[in-house]
Amino acid sequence: MAQEYIDVETAKQTGRAAFGEMTAFLKAHPSVRVMLVEKTDRLYRNLKDWVTVDELDVEMHFPKEGVVLSRESRSSEKFMHGIKVLMAKNYIDNLSEEARKGMNEKAEQGIWPTKAPLGYRNITGSDGRKVIVVDPNLAPIIARMFDWYAAGGVSLKEVARRARADGMAYPRSGGKVPLSTIHTILRNRLYTGRFDWKGKVIHGKHDPIVSTELWERVQDVMDGRFAAKAKRGGKRDFAFSGLMTCCACGCAVVGEIKKERYVYYHCTGYSAEPGARAATCKRRYVREEVLEQQFTDLLGRLTFDEEVIDWVRDALHASHADERREHDEAIRRHQVEHRRLQDRIHAMYVDKLDGAIDAAFFEEMSNRWRGEQDRCLREIERHQSADRSFMDEGVQLLELARNAQRLFAVQDPREKRRLLNFVLSNCAWNDGIVVPTFRQPFDMLSETTTKLERLAAVGAGGSAKKEIWLGN
């Protein structure tokens, strides 16, 4: 073994220390081209890490899954690996969902569930829960900010200037509070003792800094000043703006209306000052209909027939059996832990009745163990949910790829852009021609269908299709 790396950090965010060291080692040692990992979700749980490993061109062994993956692996294996990566990402998303559930529960009880805004501080309450209390240093300044702006004759910039002169700064760093944060403060209902959460106004348990009447006057002043801007309406929603960058200069490609009816796309480098960058761009405008046809043809590369879908579904079922065994094992483990904790609580209750322990100690320990039981139940639910979603999400991914071209044809501009962003990544614009990069695992489908089209063009037999998808 050339090197061993153990990473215990969360994989929701990129930048894990051991993962970074491993990729650096593989880049520095081109002779080491075999990677041994317990299972897929131990290697990466976000899509950026997947791309990083894929670019290393290594042979990956997953002994717990019984899979070896390399450049020579068949298309169905690569596609299955892509689905497993998405399932691993789903694992992290489920953990995040549990955190959001806890935040929602606190909010429903009137407790602000996240970081305190300026004017308040986070502390631990008497019951051990995190709550917010008024910051005696910043709260008076914030109250004056509302008074100044409610009068109607003071601009937002002037409010910010006065607040900074009074000592408005970030408590820890002492840094300058930007104008955007001042605007956010004046819009935040939290300072009235109530707060907005999930579309509802909740009466908080924290002390207010300003009255509801004062806050509403500030909103009236703001809404009045921005009413004219709102009446002008938003910009036209162009379907393909922001999806491409110019090959020549790297500038974004955007849409523009000509003669109040025709939509054209062009590189923003055209409007640059004369110079090297602008000189490299050709003054090329392309009609939206031409681009739409190009994107339609690109999505057509993902189309495959029922026979292929049956093959991949069979592979999904086989992989699902392995996933189910792991989830069932985890569920049993958490159920045993839940019962063990319940036995502890019962035994301690008997000790309390016998006078062996006092009531306060019983309450403290039983509350702690019930909290651990709740965690076990959440983990059980998460594994049950992940088990149910594995097949559903895998099949949905197949159906999306297969029907992408048809769906694209009937969507409005916003949905067309969402679909393209999901399937494509970092598309380039080369003098009016789209140069695509498919996201994984759609790139596997595109490569495979392209190979099949080449074989069909030279009259290859039906066995060639199966060989490409499943190997010899």
Residue 469 lies in a domain: no
- The amino acid at residue 350 is V
Residue 65 lies in a domain: yes
Assess whether 180 and 207 both reside in one domain: yes
Residue 4 lies in a domain: no
Q: Residue 445: its pLDDT value, please?
A: 76
**Residue where a domain stops, chosen among 208, 231, 254:** 231
Q: Residue 45: its pLDDT value, please?
A: 60
Q: Residue 117: its pLDDT value, please?
A: 93
Q: Residue 69: its pLDDT value, please?
A: 84
**Residue where a domain stops, chosen among 56, 84, 108:** 108
Q: Residue 328: its pLDDT value, please?
A: 82
Assess whether 293 and 361 both reside in one domain: yes
Q: Residue 11: its pLDDT value, please?
A: 41
pTM of the model: 0.42
Residue 72 sits at φ, ψ, to 5 deg, of -85, -5
Name the residue with tokens 């579309």: 199
pLDDT 10s digits, 224-242? 765 544 444 445 668 888 7
Looking at the 3D structure of the chain, how many domains does it have? 3
Tokens linked to 359: 């009531």
Assess whether 160 and 286 both reside in one domain: no
Residue 277 lies in a domain: yes
Chain centroid to Cα 391, Å, comes to 21
Q: Residue 464: its pLDDT value, please?
A: 65
Assess whether 174 and 246 both reside in one domain: no
- CA angle, residues 38, 41, 43, in degrees to nearest 5: 65
Residue 469 CA to residue 424 CA, distance in Å, equals 22
Residue 445 lies in a domain: no
Assess whether 131 and 215 both reside in one domain: yes
Q: Residue 336: its pLDDT value, please?
A: 93
Residue 192 lies in a domain: yes
Cα distances from 466 to residues 76, 456, 460, in angstroms, run 10, 13, 12
Residue 207 lies in a domain: yes
Q: Residue 191: its pLDDT value, please?
A: 95
Assess whether 84 and 126 both reside in one domain: no
Supply the CATH number for residue 88's domain: 3.40.50.1390
Q: Residue 12: its pLDDT value, please?
A: 46
**Before 441, cis peptide (omega within 30)?**
yes
Supply the CATH number for residue 161's domain: 3.90.1750.20
Assess whether 223 and 287 both reside in one domain: no
Give just the sign of the alpha carbon dihedral 128, 132, 133, 137: positive
Name the residue with tokens 């602008």: 278
The residues, ordered by sequence, that sit 6+ positions from 245 with a Cβ below 8 Å of its Cβ are 251, 252, 253, 426, 427, 428, 429
Residue 200 CA to residue 195 CA, distance in Å, equals 8
Q: Residue 467: its pLDDT value, please?
A: 65
Residue 13 sits at φ, ψ, to 5 deg, of -105, 145
- CA angle, residues 405, 409, 412, in degrees to nearest 5: 125
Q: Write out the residue range of the structural domain in which residue 322 sits.
A: 236-440
Assess whether 71 and 214 both reside in one domain: no
Assess whether 271 and 394 both reside in one domain: yes
Assess whether 194 and 280 both reside in one domain: no
**Residue where a domain stops, chosen among 231, 252, 267:** 231
Cβ proximity of 288 and 272 under 8 Å? no
Assess whether 282 and 350 both reside in one domain: yes
Assess whether 83 and 196 both reside in one domain: no
Residue 338 CA to residue 379 CA, distance in Å, equals 11
Residue 467 lies in a domain: no
pLDDT beneath 50, residues of the chain: 10-14, 228-234, 270-279, 472
The residues, ordered by sequence, that sit 6+ positions from 265 with a Cβ below 8 Å of its Cβ are 238, 240, 241, 253, 254, 255, 256, 285, 286, 287, 288, 291, 429
